[in-house]
Structure 1
């Protein structure tokens, strides 16, 4: 069984997928204590809660995985790239770890915006760095609604590297699958949830959302409530729960307006219904 070490593990989404595919997850690194608690509630080992640059106890492994911070490359962010001193240089720390552990393969994930960031220069730097370490690369963009049968418009770039050229040549990209699941299987429009998730009439711009249709997911854009034409969830962002126009919301079966709950968001991210999560959410309800 191939051994996997995960970096920027978050709540364990990538590691969960590898575990379900038969890999042995032996290590995880994550700097956010709350995300680490969620991870530890679902896996049998502790999380190394440190900045990756301070990690020095990573066990030998066959595969390294990591969704290095995307805010620096996201269209929704400031797009500072490697100039972002907090998140932008995390890739190079991950490359350092790959050089140190020399795994048979790795899988790195980030936002689609990485492709065109700085007119493609950023991705070229990443490719050159990894190829100089002796890896053959496959780079693909997948959308959850097209490849995972999950009704979320979530496009991500996956950079997969193999040390062995024969393994690289055997790799086959994913094929598209029909989207047969609807948002009703992920969002409970009839559920009674905690009062903190509801949007009251006293909130700013309530008039923008009061007349939305039921059984669809909306966000605020250009001072309008908008829904995806395919009736799927818009891309969930790292800012979920902090308010703002990009926070998805719904009209419930009893005509109330609320944002999505953490459980619903986890399901829309591909986590199983029995995944254990711990949450501490700050809600501003500033939908402008």
Structure 2
């Protein structure tokens, strides 16, 4: 009988990575998240048995239980090509070393990390070299791959992320491989609700309405505003969902439905991250919900990687 592997999650957010590992039979025994709004969503879906709400920098590692797998979607804003690219000079970038601190204490059998694809190129590759060297110095064998949600998760979202898997034992890394590509069998429009939504989601009368009508000449595409103006996604593919959706509604992608031009709803955004319909989204503070979804992961991609990690360990 296969053992049930245990998981500890750093920077857990709303639990996208936890959900993916749980889908593969793992048991979550510890999680940490600093954002109180994300913690609320996490508790709605996972309960309150093991989530530690607070700053990881203030946690004593002796209070963290042992587990087989450590997961960490450490903050990506410091490395993102749409951020300030401050890297380790940004306090959020330095949180990677908090991950290293926990690895050094717990010594899990495998470490799973997720971040923006630009992490590989940041500071001409020096940032990524530091990460790989740190994992090596801790005694881990590391493999990594940049994967796009639309190519590996059957999710119609343009979302490139790097996934890093570090095994404690060489025999395990030799048994592991990243998932193969999947054909995309659906469009973003297949995941949008067909009935009319609340008026707050419709963009009629927007200050850029005339410009939008000139630019939005293809109803099979999803649009959004960027710092450089109005942009369109590839046909049938949603642009990358960002945490900035929670700070400026114009960062929320929008499209033509049967009634007018409207913003994607939080539930539609969750579908485009691969969250099941059963995943509970808070009804209040919608801005925070948009932010949480943009900060999360594409669950089906992580679930496929998690499945292969479980196979390599078992």
Q: TM-score, normalised by structure 2?
A: 0.84
Match of 2:16 among 10, 13, 26: 13
Distance 1:221 1:237, change over 3 A: closer
Match of 1:272 among 252, 269, 276: 276
The answer to whether structure 1 residue 3 and structure 2 residue 6 are counterparts is yes
The answer to whether structure 1 residue 207 and structure 2 residue 210 are counterparts is yes
Aligned to 2:310: none
Distance 1:101 1:46, change over 3 A: closer
Where is the helix percentage greater, Structure 1 or Structure 2?
2
Match of 2:176 among 171, 174, 183: 171
Q: Is the 8 A contact 1:5 1:65 kept in 2?
A: yes
Q: Is the 8 A contact 1:105 1:161 kept in 2?
A: yes
Q: Deviations over 1:131-150 (max 9, x none)?
A: 10000001111100000000
Aligned to 1:33: 36
Distance 1:239 1:185 in 2: 24
* CA positional deviation for 1:60: 0.7
* CA positional deviation for 1:195: 2.6
Aligned to 2:70: 64
Q: Is the 8 A contact 2:29 2:50 kept in 1?
A: no
Q: Deviations over 1:243-272 (max 9, x none)?
A: 265431112201x22211111111101101
Aligned to 1:142: 147
Q: Is the 8 A contact 2:245 2:287 kept in 1?
A: no
* CA positional deviation for 1:242: 2.5
Distance 1:223 1:26, change over 3 A: closer
Aligned to 1:248: 253
SS in 2 for 1:89: helix
Match of 1:49 among 39, 44, 53: 53
Distance 1:49 1:96 in 2: 18
* CA positional deviation for 1:215: 4.5
Match of 1:94 among 91, 94, 99: 99
Q: Is the 8 A contact 2:110 2:166 kept in 1?
A: yes
* CA positional deviation for 1:282: 4.1
* CA positional deviation for 1:173: 1.5
Q: Tell which deviates more after alignment, 118-127 or 21-30.
A: 21-30
Q: Is the 8 A contact 1:60 1:101 kept in 2?
A: yes
Structure 2: runs of 5+ lacking an equivalent: 289-314
Aligned to 1:227: 232
Distance 1:196 1:225 in 2: 20
Distance 1:9 1:225 in 2: 32
Structure with the larger RCO, 1 or 2 (CA within 8 Å, 6+ apart): 2
Q: Between Structure 1 and Structure 2, how many residues are aligned?
A: 279
Q: TM-score, normalised by structure 1?
A: 0.92
Over the aligned positions, Cα root-mean-square deviation in angstroms equals 1.8
SS in 2 for 1:91: helix
Q: Deviations over 1:129-174 (max 9, x none)?
A: 1110000001111100000000000000011000010001111111
Distance 1:108 1:29 in 2: 15
Q: Is the 8 A contact 2:151 2:183 kept in 1?
A: yes
* CA positional deviation for 1:227: 2.2
SS in 2 for 1:239: helix
Q: Is the 8 A contact 1:242 1:281 kept in 2?
A: no
Aligned to 2:261: 257
Distance 1:269 1:14 in 2: 11
SS in 2 for 1:172: coil
Q: Deviations over 1:188-242 (max 9, x none)?
A: 2x333233222231x3212222352434311235866432234200000011133
